[in-house]
Chains A and B, each alone.
Chain A
Amino acid sequence: MGQDLIIDDMHVSYGDSHILQGISMVLHEGEVVTLLGPNGAGKTTTLRGLSGLTKATGKVTYGKLDLLNMKPEAILRSGISLVPEGRGTFASLSTEENLQLGGISRKADHALEDDMKRMYRYFPVLEERKKQQAGMLSGGEQQMLAVARALMSRPKLLLLDEPSFGLAPRIIEQLFDILKSIRETEGISMLIVEQNAALVMQFADRAYVLEAGQIVLSGTAKEMQNNEAILKSYLGS
């Protein structure tokens, strides 16, 4: 089973509202899985729970680790990195410092410097902007920075929260091309939350659909693309 992520009956509540009502999902090592669903279904909450930012109950294992009892920094060290909703830019710091912060949990050595260079190869625009204040970058550049920052910790599983949000179609395409090549060269698993389902379905192996805090559908990307109901609700056609 290797480094599989197994979510078993995960719950999250804020005060009186029961946001996640027992969801179960599996993500095998090397897979790209997408989590679809309308606004307010609990997609972001799922990712926040997995990365330790939000308190969740139930059972989530990653390899042998029990994630729900771990702090965010420990989860990061175990190989899971989140590209958060809204990109989470360290806006007052420079692009370069943002990347350095991405790798701050690692030892400072040559490998770290090599990784910086590798990120600049994936995202050449970041190298051009490396001394600029990150808050001044365009939305697309900030999203690329967020992905690069997350990769700097050398994750084995990348969680992405609506990477296409608010970006121009051309930029979105570019971003997903880079994500594809990252997947191919680095063999990273990904769990992607998206609104733009049509786009992500071309990239993902499998998909889950979350509605009002519960998983209502799951299947391979192919199956889902042929399902009329889903096409209507989520693929916008």
Chain B
Amino acid sequence: MNIRTLSLIILGIALVLVPFVLKGYLVFQATTIVIYAIAIMGLNILTGLNGQIALGHGAFFAMGAYLMAITLNVWELPFYVGFPIAGVACFVFGFLFGFPALRLEGVYLALATFTLAVAVPPVLKLSFLEPVTGGVMGTLVPAPTTPFGLPLGQDQWMYLLTLLFLFLMYGMAQALKSSRSGRAMMAIRDNPIAARAMGINVALYKTLAFGLSALYAGIAGCLSALVIQFISADSFTFFLSVYLIVGLVVGGAAWFPGALIGGAYIVLVPNLVETFSPPLAGSFYGLLLMVMMLIIPKGASGLIEKFFPRRPSASDTSRPAPREDGGDGPVTIGRPGR
């Protein structure tokens, strides 16, 4: 057993002990951190492993939360049914949404997902959806009671449930990373053209990564609905999506355990800063993102390279290669991949 595995096991044990050491509101906060960490881990797969960037994962988070609420309130099914429903739905929706944008330059995916993030609250507030979404007022979500008569408080039980999902989904992410599919995703990240030449179905793996990351966000959304016991459109503004990106950048794009750091950052820092003034937190986040991009020479992609060294590849993208064909036909604006 090497040091890495050992420290992960110690971290895991420490995480399990949290609700027995901390009390009340702190347990709730720890739960929120873990929930964000799950969503951020989805982005780790998308951005870290596959090199895509998406700005709208708050939408999938919202979708998961609402599907959990609908499972409980409308269909009156037990809460554990909500997870597979939301997971599958988010995966499928993510897969379908990503498909058109993935054929194009990354900037189009960023654009499409940006509008997705902005459009979430207005869609949730649509009056004809009110019977299922609760419209502007939002809707209450009954919390599941502690099972098997375990001697756990409600908040301790919710924390442990959330943590269970974190462990499961961390395992899934790790398994993905070392699988054939994971290697295909990384090959695409490093050099899409070479990946295609090697016979990798680029579009399939890119949409797969997108769908998977949507699934992670959806599960996080489910948990958040259960923990907060209330959802409304205004809990899922554009800023939720942005905070997930903040967490991703802070935790490191391609390092799964970093998701916990990212989650802790977006939950705890506002608490510290907002004691002075609420909007200060946003300014601080914004400034932090910009400063990080300026001082890490290659920005977020530099982080990826730090944790997953690039395979040596023929195309050094740091400089524009002198053209060899000599012809330059009708213009193409929008620069080729760098």
Contact = CB atoms under 8 A, between A and B. Distances in A.
A11 interface: no
Give chain A's interface secondary structure class.
Answer: loop
12 contacts: A15-B319, A44-B322, A48-B322, A85-B326, A86-B326, A86-B327, A88-B328, A92-B330, A92-B333, A136-B330, A139-B326, A139-B327
Interface in A4-50: 14-15, 44-45, 48
A14 B327 contact: no
B316 to A, nearest CB: 6
A166 B322 contact: no
Q: How large is the interface on B (under 10, 10 to 19, 20 to 34, 35 or more residues)?
A: 10 to 19
Given A85-B323, A86-B323, A135 B318 contact: no
Contact of B331 (A135, A139, A165): A135
Contacts of A96: none
B76 interface: no
Contacts, number: 40
A199 interface: no
B325 A91 contact: no
Contacts of B327: 86, 139, 166
A91 B326 contact: no
Contacts of A87: 326, 328
A15 B316 contact: yes
Interface string A122-140: 0000000000010110010
B279 interface: no
Interface in A84-124: 85-89, 91-92
Nearest to A48: B322
B199 interface: no
B329 interface: yes
A91 B329 contact: yes
Interface string B29-46: 000000000000000000
A92 B323 contact: no
B325 A135 contact: no
A16 B325 CA distance: 25
